[in-house]
Amino acid sequence: MQENKEIIFIDKPRGITSFGVIKVLRRKLGVRRIGHAGTLDPFATGLLIVGIGAGTKKMKEFEALPKTYVMDVLLGKKTDTGDPEGKVIEEKETGEIKAADVEKILAGIEGELELPIPRYSAVKHKGLPLYKYARRGIPVEQKMRKTKIFRLELIEVIKKESKTTLRVEMEAEKGTYARAVGEEIGRRLGVPAMLVELRRTRIGDIKIEEAKKLDEIKNTDFV
């Protein structure tokens, strides 16, 4: 699919929220009515589909499409957010991690399953996002969400000094929390785990190669 003046594909950089991307585009394009199809966490990078003007009406169609990610899962460490943004709450020696064991576990996660919704997420409880309760230290019973993982493949086992990181490619339905999947991989291996890198490479048939960097967007290109 080719982008047009109403829909553009952005390669979101690390360190900015998805809404932060929208704010940058509003300033660049001089347009207020801009929205996106599927949030990426600040530490994550990759494909973000953005609707401009009338294009915002099409965002729900894109949100419903399956997403593909490349995840770096660090074994032996867990944070309260499931990613590098949070506080370390558990550490443990991993021992020898064999690729064959990882592949067996990934195959067992594929399909339909229930995973906990991260405490630091935008899912609402009594009208407030869960992350607001977490930031205030207010306990909320952790909810589960049914999801479907179509494909979970090991790309490589990365060993550096005493650390082991699994690079995994995942294709999943909308609403799947990659952080929860990373932690589940660790749980099944018997060790704490967290995501240290997350890159969305595909939404439906749209590939990251079709996306533009934020600094490549010019007013004259789309308005």
Catalogue the active-site residues: 41
What is d(CA 207, CA 49) in angstroms, rounded to the nearest whole number? 11
**In Å, how far from its chain's centre is CA 200?**
7
User: What amino acid occupies position 206?
Assistant: I
Q: Which DSSP letter does residue 162 get? A: T
DSSP states of 180-222: HHHHHHHHHHTS-EEEEEEEEEEETTEEGGG-B-GGG--HHHH
Name which of 95, 1, 90, 11 is nearest 50 in CA terms.
11
What is d(CA 193, CA 184) in angstroms, rounded to the nearest whole number? 8
- The tokens describing 67, both together, are 């997403």
